[in-house]
Amino acid sequence: MSELKDLRKKIDDIDQDILRLLNKRAEIAVEIGKTKLSKHLRIHSPVREREVLTRLRENNPGPFPNEAVRLIYEEILSASLALQQPLQVAYLGPSATFTHLAASRQFGSSTDYLPVSTIREVFEAVTRGKAQYGVVPIENSTEGVVNYTLDMFIDSDLKIAFEIMLPITHNLLSKSGKKSEIKKIYSHPQARAQCRNWLDRNFTGIPIVEELSTAAAAKRVSRDTTSAAVASELAASVYNLQFVEKGIEDNKTNYTRFLVIARESPGKTGNDKTSIMCSVKDKPGALYLILRPFARHKINLTKIESRPSRRKAWEYIFFVDMDGHLEDKGVRKAINDIKKECLFLKVLGSYPSAE
């Protein structure tokens, strides 16, 4: 027991040193904030945050795991930023949606979060200055793109500042957790589609009612003892629900990609993506002429998606993601080369790739 007591004393001493150093770090962060304000610089520096996390990962000798280091330092960075200047982030709400979870993973718990009802309202909150950033879903690995998000970029001047990749695990939640009491299930259409086979096997004949979000479904079920919701683990905690079944998604490698929007994109990090949107001329080989410059300049395209332009019948807008930053010579040349083949072209931003 004396040996255990000595080891715990060493832990206590280290914890005291960590606490002292955290406060010393916070004092320096406050001074940095004052310096930035005096020089009219942006307080939040995503590039600097990425540099800090990358350096820590590369220099970590272990045995403390890199993922734990990342989570801890994301909270340290979030708290330090809050001391400099409170950060407002709008997201597709209500509380406990997967978008909320993605936002908290990116910005930490010290951020001031603003839940709104629609993707359009997320864009409007950032455009009007109610929030510095907005978080919106863009695509799911099982169900594909969120078309409404793509459509919002057509008329918006906002830029993509980050992307977030979030593993999605769905659960069936109810007040009692008892399967026999469930007479109705509430779900967002995307969540329902991602759990279609499981629901068909286990709840044949039970009506499934659409809700605006998984969190809205959980909130409704918190007031109804005979219904269940397809929702996140966070929703179970927020709305005090029990698990009927965990992990009901059909695809266990189910990810959703989210975009963080802002008035401008961050600088180059060395591990970036660039997104553009363009409308091509209506002539044979038009799409080939758009794609050829990327091949010639050895630019890897990671996504290409088309949407009706909403301006003219049978006119389409292409959304393209590529590896690299607009400051990279190859990316810049490829985009310049395709401009003459486009009716219009808009760069949506260059931003850090999700790790």
Query: Among all residues, which ones are annotated catalytic?
Result: 256, 258
Q: Where are the beta strands (DSSP E) in the chain?
A: 88-92, 112-116, 133-140, 144-145, 159-167, 171-174, 184-187, 208-210, 227-231, 242-245, 255-262, 272-280, 301-308, 316-323, 342-352
Q: 268 burial class (0-12, 13-18, 19+ CB within 10 angstroms)?
A: middle
As a whole number of Å, the end-to-end CA separation of the chain is: 44
Cα–Cα distances (Å) from 50 to 71, 205, 351, in that order, read 13, 49, 11
Do the beta carbons of residue 318 and residue 279 sit within 8 Å? yes
User: How far is Cα 54 from Cα 159, in angstroms, rounded to an integer?
Assistant: 24
> Is 113:91 a contact under the CB 8 Å cutoff?
yes
SS3 107: helix
Tokens of 289: 């002429």
Detail the DSSP E strand segments found in 38-111.
Answer: 88-92
